[in-house]
Structure 1
């Protein structure tokens, strides 16, 4: 099971890197979203993919009586999902505003042209 998920994680990373190297903003944003999912799957896989009992210790015991699930990767992933969603929402708004202002989503066409002529620094320096 872990080998299959590892191949899936590698595929997610490959697709994300391919999309991040694109020139269109929408593809770049999709690459960021897929990269976040790949990292989440990687963290989840590092915490083992076994079916275990919940990490609850009965009152009478000081330590768990049997093997329990590791709650740390699950907590990290829940936090990462919230952060990546808010980051993606911010980037979507930023890309939309850039498209409204510049009229293109091609990153090469978004570059500001170099000023020509004699450019003097502001007075008072």
Structure 2
């Protein structure tokens, strides 16, 4: 458990989450999380383990996934992160979402313009 505990602590600190705040997010007591990080807990409840992985991305996918599934997984994770951020900082979540929307719209419009230009030049 020591190795996973160290990974949890390092990942939590990289995300700038206090022990108390992260324990609250996981739905566990700060003392349980502290024991987990120090390797003093022998068993981890599956729900807690899944929440840890969802929050910190501790465990890489073990199975090979095709690129479409991986893309959907990444998109789903970003969606969850923005929704979570919206609870603590709606202004930042809204800003990030609007930037994503703007970027996608700009790229699509730019691609359409290039395709139209290409089509016209092929007909000339």
TM over 0.5: no
Larger RCO, structure (CA 8 Å, separation 6 or more): 1
